[in-house]
Structure 1
């Protein structure tokens, strides 16, 4: 049973519930993992998927299409910013594939991968929120 997260957005829940997606349970698990990791995150729909903001700034976007895997895009918003000299966070877990020093992707193909990386993902989310300010 998933822990009920108080900051689940009803609009996002309706969006996810209306999906015909083979990884729908994984999407729900990731939503809760993200929101449980940092209570300062808020949830909305952006770029046709769940999106997570900290103090109104986009930080993590869930890419759900194509439906072979779920990707979490870690970023600093839609605008291109000056690149930091080093990667924004230290990813000891190896979950992130870096695109630039301030943009990375974590990909999940099944529930087992999500559950196995839950603690590491929580740490990454919190580190990202702090570093992306």
Structure 2
């Protein structure tokens, strides 16, 4: 699993590659229980075998961080609540999307996004 991500990042051609690497490191640093793998052709994070936070890097020149609760919409999607005091998350159904469009925006929000990812993983696993 870790080898998959390391290989993926070594081969990644993306204008925000440095920010992808920094964001990945920040997410892994907030909680040693967070696991890493590649899902949807991008770095993904979770716990106990459940992917919950996955980057979306293509197409485009941005980083999207997708907060999800699995592949299918859950029955409690209408009542599930996750507090986002940052205002960074855009909700689409039961998924949250954090869009970082520039290197400076990604750099500025790295730790905040890592903290949100950790809270999301804890709340949904």
Deviations 1:41-99 (A, max 9, x none): 11111111111121111100100101311100000111321134445311000110001
Q: State the alpha-carbon separation in 2 of the partners of residues 122 and 131 from structure 1.
A: 14
5+ long unaligned stretches in structure 1:
1-7
The secondary structure found in structure 2 opposite 1:66 is coil
* 1:112 to 1:86, Cα distance in 2 relative to 1, 3 A: farther
Higher relative contact order (CA 8 A, sep 6+): 2
Q: CA deviation at 1:40?
A: 1.2
Q: Name the count of aligned residue pairs.
A: 125
Higher helix proportion: 2
Using the size of structure 2 for normalisation, the TM-score is 0.88
Does the CA-based 8 Å contact 2:53-2:121 persist in structure 1? no
> Which residue among 80, 96, 99 is the counterpart of 1:104?
96
